[in-house]
Structure 1
Amino acid sequence: MRPNIPLLALMLATTFLSACAATPAFKRPDVAAPAAFTGTQGQTPTAINAAWWQNFGSDELDQLMTEALAQNTDIRAGVHRVEQARADLKIAGANLLPSIGASAGAGRNFQNNPSAQSTNLSLGANISYELDLFGGNKAGVSAARANLAQTQYGEDALKLVVMGDVAKGYFTFVNLRERLAIADDNLKNAREVMRIVQARYDAGAVSALDVAEQKTVVSSREASRAALQSQLTQAGDALAVLLGRA
């Protein structure tokens, strides 16, 4: 007996339609979308005071800034001074100090087109400068204008980096100088106590252990002072490099 083909096909179609009916229809959720996004769009950027360091009210810092900016007009020499000064500051322990809210960086981009190589100088607060040192971005302007613009941008970027590093170096130096003054007072007090303990020991009022303990205190204070003096010297060397004195 041959199977009933039409009846079998009807049964399969009914089963398929039943399975489709068991799946609920997708309903798009009602989400109220804002008419416009209210972020930072349309906000006018705040201008940065070119002489922002004057807000600290330090005549010493003002003098250092003036001297450093006058000495760092050549881009290549200025970058070299910045790198050397940062190495000295690292030895001086500047990384232990809190950041003053500024950062800077430099890098070189290499693209497929050799003439489009560029150097980037960047600072914190989303400020960046692209220097077309190899003339790859001169479309639409003359070569003379492009060279002049890149030189001006490079000098401006270098000034921003130098100002940030001078401020950091100055505050590192001031911090170490104050800590050294405190260390001098602590050492002076420890030596005075040592003199008193020694006198009492000679009089038989204290033991040799008391004398040994105070000698340890004096030695510790001397070592701390020597370390601070070394760090202060390194911080001074870093500032001297930025100022073109070294």
Structure 2
Amino acid sequence: MKLLQRAGALAAVATLSACATQTPAPHVTADLPQQWQAPLPHQGNQTELANWWRAQSDTLLVQLIEAAQTASPDIAAAASRIAQSRAERVAAGAALAPTLDAASSISRANQQSTLPMGTVSQAALQASWEIDLFGANRAARNAAQDRYDSARAGWHDARVSVAAEVANQYYGLRACEQLLTVAQQDAASRADTARLTELSAQAGFQSPASLALARASAADGSSRAIAQRAACDVDVKVLAALTAIAEPELRRQLAAGSASSSATASASVVAAAPSMAIAALPASTLSQRPDVFSAERAVSAASADVGTAQAARYPRLTLSGSVGVANFRAGGDNTKTDTWTIGPLAMTLPIFDSGRRSANVEAAQARYDSAVSSYRATVRQAVSEVEQALVNLDASAARSSDAQSALQGYRINFGAVEQRYQNGLASLFELEDARRTRLAAEQSVISLQRERSAAWVALYRAAGGGWTAPTNRPATASTH
């Protein structure tokens, strides 16, 4: 009869164990498009994203990125999260193994008995182990591993974000310097026109209205140059804050970088940045994004948390034991004994908790549903970011030749009108109109170069910045 009772108990435990392992799917699909809906930039050599900055032959940019990554509080916080998740992973894994503690004690007592007064000293090794019948500790360990993997991916994501931010600021500063050069040249041209107009007006060849217009144009050009210089100074200060480099030293480095090439040549480096490898299928590219991987790991961790909450509703089985030695000293005599115990083998069965454990399961399931929704939203956003970067890159490339042709034509036209004006064959109004058109074309070319560099940086950011998922994990986009 006792044998049948034990067999029935074991069968019940096995049935409960099977029920406890039913957790939501740790991997879900993301409904990715079969192909990109924008042209891929495969002209020229393809370089690895991780080395893309170095492939641009701009050593100062690489130095600024490295300095910013060293000083970034976001990266430091990401590193701290890695350390915390690593410790949590170790603690969760340790729950699956037995614990072993050493204990010792000494006491002296006098009892009203036949035993004389004496000193008792003892030492023992005590062990305990929770037998993980329903997978609670295994689920907690898996969740901790997922969060550790997510934290490592988040660290790289922070580094990529900092690199993209610094690059955008750096390219913006270089574009600002170009615009400043154009504004200074335009201001000098307007001032020269005002000087010539004043001489003509004094000789009676120009009206006072023309002289007033020339002076107003010169003042406007000077104002534009001052405003542009202030904008560049602000960009330098922002870059100094990002990189934690003292502003005087940063200005020295920027000036040294500009001395090796003209501002226009510096921008041409941006426009001719090397192509990066973008896979033909979105699934391949999205597997390189640390934020997508992190969101996928969050789903897996939430699934494990559901398992942990479910297992808390079922019995817990623990086994303990100890082995040690004891010594009793009384009246100069020692009595030594060896001790050992196995047990108790204890089972704790939840009976009534006012619905607390069921509520914990429902909360864990809700967090899982939220993680799934967040993961799919992250994937959609990733696809959108890559698509936007591809469109902007293709559009800026297509507009480049037209913008250069327009600039060349407006420069020629301005030169001809300026020559006619100096010979008295064109009015000041014609000259100022040609000047405004040429200035707008100059600014348009520089802005287009800035857009192209921003598109390259956005594509670098959207493609994950060279990060690859760990090989021991399934590919994000192909999991089910």
1:213 aligned residue: 213
1:93-108 alignment runs, 5 A limit: none
TM-score, with length taken from structure 2: 0.28
Contact 1:73 1:155 in 2 (8 A): no
1:33-182 alignment runs, 5 A limit: 39=34, 49-72=49-72, 75=75, 139-141=139-141, 152-182=152-182
Contact 1:198 1:211 in 2 (8 A): yes
Contact 2:85 2:148 in 1 (8 A): no
From the superposition, tell whether residues 213 and 132 of structure 1 become closer, same or farther in structure 2 (CA, over 3 Å): farther
Contact 2:75 2:159 in 1 (8 A): no
Say whether 1:224 aligns with 2:224: yes
Contact 1:183 1:224 in 2 (8 A): yes
Number of residues paired by the alignment?
154
From the superposition, tell whether residues 58 and 158 of structure 1 become closer, same or farther in structure 2 (CA, over 3 Å): same
CA distance in 2, matches of 1:68, 1:51: 17
1:234 aligned residue: 234
Q: Deviations over 1:48-94 (max 9, x none)?
A: 5213222332222122122222222663679xxxxxxxxxxxxxxxx
Instruction: Give the Å deviation of 1:194.
Output: 1.2
Contact 2:69 2:75 in 1 (8 A): no
Q: Return the letter of the residue paired with 1:182.
A: V
1:16 aligned residue: none
CA distance in 2, matches of 1:209, 1:244: 52
CA distance in 2, matches of 1:76, 1:234: 26
% identical aligned pairs: 20
Contact 2:85 2:144 in 1 (8 A): no
What stretches of structure 1 of length at least 5 have no aligned partner? Answer: 1-37, 41-45, 79-118, 120-130
CA distance in 2, matches of 1:224, 1:63: 32
Question: If each structure's strand is expressed as a fraction of its own residues, which one has the higher value?
Answer: 2
CA distance in 2, matches of 1:180, 1:140: 59
1:8-23 alignment runs, 5 A limit: none
CA distance in 2, matches of 1:54, 1:73: 24
Instruction: Give the Å deviation of 1:232.
Output: 1.3
Question: Relative CO higher for 1 or 2, CA cutoff 8 Å, sep ≥ 6?
Answer: 2
1:193 aligned residue: 193
Q: Return the letter of the residue paired with 2:225.
A: R
Q: Please say which of residues 52-61 and 186-195 is displaced more in the overlay.
A: 52-61
What stretches of structure 2 of length at least 5 have no aligned partner? Answer: 1-32, 36-45, 93-138, 247-480
Q: Return the letter of the residue paired with 1:213.
A: L
Q: Please say which of residues 147-156 and 228-237 is displaced more in the overlay.
A: 147-156
From the superposition, tell whether residues 155 and 70 of structure 1 become closer, same or farther in structure 2 (CA, over 3 Å): same
Q: Return the letter of the residue paired with 1:169.
A: Q
Alignment RMSD: 4.1
Q: Please say which of residues 170-179 and 143-152 is displaced more in the overlay.
A: 143-152
TM-score, with length taken from structure 1: 0.51
Instruction: Give the Å deviation of 1:165.
Output: 0.5
Q: Deviations over 1:7-47 (max 9, x none)?
A: xxxxxxxxxxxxxxxxxxxxxxxxxxxxxxx946xxxxx99
Contact 1:169 1:235 in 2 (8 A): yes
From the superposition, tell whether residues 60 and 195 of structure 1 become closer, same or farther in structure 2 (CA, over 3 Å): same
CA distance in 1, matches of 2:77, 2:239: 15
Instruction: Give the Å deviation of 1:237.
Output: 1.9
2:183 aligned residue: 183
From the superposition, tell whether residues 227 and 214 of structure 1 become closer, same or farther in structure 2 (CA, over 3 Å): same
2:270 aligned residue: none
1:100 aligned residue: none
